[in-house]
Amino acid sequence: MLFNSYSFVVFFIIMLALHSMNFPWKVKKVNLLIGSYIFYAAWNPPFILLLWLSTVVDFFVGKALYNENNKQKKRLLLVVSLIGNLGMLCFFKYGNFLLDNFVTLVNTIGIDYHPAKPSIILPAGISFYTFTTLCYTIDMYKKEGTPVKTLLDFSLFVTFFPHLVAGPIVRPHQLVPQFETPKQATRHQLVNGLFLLSLGLFMKVVMADTLLASPADSVFQAQNSLLPVDAWAGVLAFSGQIFFDFAGYSTCAIGAAMCLGFSLPENFKFPYAASGFSDFWRRWHITLSAWLRDYLYIPLGGNRKGPARTYVNLMLTMLLGGLWHGASWTFVVWGALHGVYLCVERLLQQRTITTGQPAVAVSRASFVPSFLAGKSINRFATALFVFLLVTIAWVFFRSTDFSTAWRLLSSMFGMDHNGAALLSTLDLVKVFLVTGALLATHWLLRDLSIENIIHRTNWKVLGVAWAVMLILLVVSQKSSNSFIYFQF
């Protein structure tokens, strides 16, 4: 079930009505759980079995891990959880990818092997709920926190419908305690939640799908070289599209949870205003970045084992982060580019410290030309430089193969002199205006959160903006698509 569908509107009204009735708290939680399963089953009902398996196994394994003192038994239990979760993820998400690469490898060395290709359907949201349950068992292994008391609370933690399919990726301590006592949205929470839900849908339906999806799709699906202006417009359109699409989903999720009286963590904070690549990952998909830091980068050694190991850990983390997004080498290259950005940024920071520059310069040091770093008047130029390199990396993220990526990059930088025009003048103007407005908005609001902005805005202005968004939503709904991150 999509947030941007009329079926969700009906579903959400029913959930709000049931949650507002004078039922015991346990009954309300059961209602939320059943509703979450119905929400998930709208895609493919049989995949609920995978969700149940992951939930039940990790609930009991997590409790056993916390109570077990024998190190060997604890490791065995952790391995059971890892095999169950990662094995399921690898089969459904990476099965075809691994098989294709194995066939290519054996054919390269002269073995004629051509097996039948299995028909594997990727369950919606499997990457998200796998990471959600994994962090619980790892926390129980480390005894960071206490086991969830009931299977009902744990099931609801895993399957709570706002975050189930595309995040935010929640930790046990962020959501489970909220299920322990009755929750009912206040009038203030309900209004704010409905506004956030409307804002998220506006970002997805109007900005991502109506304004930016068409030029992005046209450019990335082109079979021939393009003029630089068309190539850049298409890539910039995707930069905006993926932000509005994914941040729109996260905003919808936070708003829907708030309408029910629950709080989900912030997942985006105006990332295109980032003054460096570390800053970008503190602003983009915040919950995934924190997950990779806490459960991959730090366990690998983080920055505690010397400079060389730090760079290796950064690269491994970003390579696996890229692969998490999809079973394709283009995603690996996208992750590798961000790994290189982070490594170079860190190297420049270390050199700044070594040369004894002021602390303010160190805090702003990043992978940018030296003449841009240091003065506050140039911070916007720094953000533009970071945005430029992030946009170049998006080429690999969006491209279906390397030939498409190379053709686009060649067109963007004028390396192919036979490029053709593709987009209309209206499309070009639309993309550059939206991109400019997006960057300006991110820069001006970079130190605020959406909720801060709502609280600071006059209610009359907010009401007019809300009405305009709703009108545009109704007008644009027919052009809406599924969320990009559903495929991950």
Model pLDDT for residues 164-189, shown as the tens digit of each residue: 888 799 999 999 999 999 989 999 99
Q: Is residue 126's pLDDT more than 50? A: yes
Q: Confirm if 40 and 125 have CB atoms less than 8 A apart.
A: yes
With CA atoms as reference, report the closest residue to 484 among 264, 249, 270: 249
Of 147, 162, 182, which closes a domain? 182
pLDDT of residue 365: 41
Q: Is the dihedral of CA 341, 344, 348, 354 positive or negative?
A: positive
Q: Are residues 155 and 137 in the same domain?
A: yes
Specify which residues 420 forms β-bridges with. Answer: 226
Look up tokens 């129980």; give the residue: 140
Q: Are residues 319 and 355 in the same domain?
A: yes
Q: Is residue 52 part of a domain?
A: yes
- Confidence band for 380, pLDDT divided at 50, 70 and 90: confident
- Enumerate residues 6+ apart whose C-beta is below 8 A from 31: 15, 18, 19, 23
What's the pLDDT tens digit per position in 93-117?
888 888 888 888 888 888 877 787 7
Q: Is residue 372's pLDDT more than 60? A: no
Q: Are residues 203 and 161 in the same domain?
A: no
Q: Confirm if 446 and 380 have CB atoms less than 8 A apart.
A: no
Q: Is residue 274 part of a domain?
A: yes
- Report d(CA 211, CA 240) in Å as an integer: 10
Q: Are residues 363 and 384 in the same domain?
A: yes
Q: Is the dihedral of CA 445, 451, 452, 456 positive or negative?
A: positive
pLDDT of residue 377: 52
- Enumerate residues 6+ apart whose C-beta is below 8 A from 371: 378
State the average pLDDT over residues 439-443.
94
Q: What is the count of structural domains for the chain?
A: 2
Q: Is residue 441 part of a domain?
A: yes
Q: Is residue 111 part of a domain?
A: no
Q: Are residues 203 and 167 in the same domain?
A: no
- Confidence band for 229, pLDDT divided at 50, 70 and 90: very high
Domain range spanning residue 204? 189-487
Q: Is residue 377 part of a domain?
A: yes
State the average pLDDT over residues 362-384.
58
State the average pLDDT over residues 130-136.
91
Would you state the torsion angle of the CA atoms of residues 437, 438, 439, 442, taken in this order, to the nearest 10 degrees? 120
Q: Are residues 99 and 238 in the same domain?
A: no
Q: Are residues 478 and 358 in the same domain?
A: yes
Of 154, 182, 210, which closes a domain? 182
What six digits make up the tokens of 26? 């346990």
pLDDT of residue 376: 55
State the average pLDDT over residues 439-449.
91
State the average pLDDT over residues 344-365.
62
Q: Is residue 480's pLDDT more than 70? A: no
CB atoms within 10 A of CB 194: 18
Q: Look up 325 and say whether it is catalytic.
A: yes
Q: Confirm if 153 and 173 have CB atoms less than 8 A apart.
A: no
Q: Confirm if 212 and 238 have CB atoms less than 8 A apart.
A: yes
Highest mean pLDDT among 159-168, 256-265, 321-330 belongs to 256-265
Q: Is residue 358's pLDDT more than 50? A: no
Q: Is residue 112 part of a domain?
A: no
Q: Which of 19, 163, 285, 325 is catalytic?
A: 325
With CA atoms as reference, report the closest residue to 222 among 358, 95, 361, 403: 403
Q: Is residue 471's pLDDT more than 50? A: yes
Q: Are residues 141 and 276 in the same domain?
A: no
Q: Is residue 252's pLDDT more than 50? A: yes
Of 135, 165, 182, which closes a domain? 182
- Report d(CA 334, CA 336) in Å as an integer: 5
Q: Confirm if 233 and 428 have CB atoms less than 8 A apart.
A: yes
pLDDT of residue 204: 93
Q: What burial class does residue 259 get, using C-beta atoms within 10 Å of its C-beta: 0-12 exposed, 13-18 middle, 19+ buried?
A: buried
DSSP type of residue 226: B
Q: What is the mean pLDDT of the chain?
A: 88
Specify which residues 226 forms β-bridges with. Answer: 420
Q: Are residues 209 and 124 in the same domain?
A: no
What's the pTM?
Answer: 0.90
Q: Are residues 394 and 429 in the same domain?
A: yes
Q: Are residues 159 and 85 in the same domain?
A: yes
Longest dimension (CA), the chain: 72
- Report d(CA 279, CA 405) in Å as an integer: 26
pLDDT of residue 69: 87
Would you state the torsion angle of the CA atoms of residues 22, 27, 31, 34, taken in this order, to the nearest 10 degrees? -170
CB atoms within 10 A of CB 297: 21
* 420 φ/ψ angles, rounded to the nearest 5 degrees: -115, 155
What percent of the chain is predicted at pLDDT more than 90?
59
Helices 6-20 and 228-259 meet at what angle, rounded to 10?
20
- Confidence band for 234, pLDDT divided at 50, 70 and 90: very high
- Report d(CA 395, CA 21) in Å as an integer: 49
Q: Is residue 283 part of a domain?
A: yes
Q: Are residues 269 and 164 in the same domain?
A: no
- Report d(CA 98, CA 117) in Å as an integer: 11
- Report d(CA 130, CA 193) in Å as an integer: 27
Read out DSSP for 259-282? HTT-------S-GGG-SSHHHHHT
pLDDT of residue 486: 62
Highest mean pLDDT among 44-58, 296-310, 425-439 belongs to 425-439
Q: Is residue 423's pLDDT more than 60? A: yes
pLDDT of residue 366: 44
- Confidence band for 124, pLDDT divided at 50, 70 and 90: confident
pLDDT of residue 128: 87
Q: Is residue 175 part of a domain?
A: yes
Q: Is residue 410's pLDDT more than 70? A: yes
- Confidence band for 354, pLDDT divided at 50, 70 and 90: low
pLDDT of residue 349: 82
- Which phi-psi region, left, alpha or beta, contains residue 83 (left: φ > 0; alpha: ψ -120 to 50)? alpha
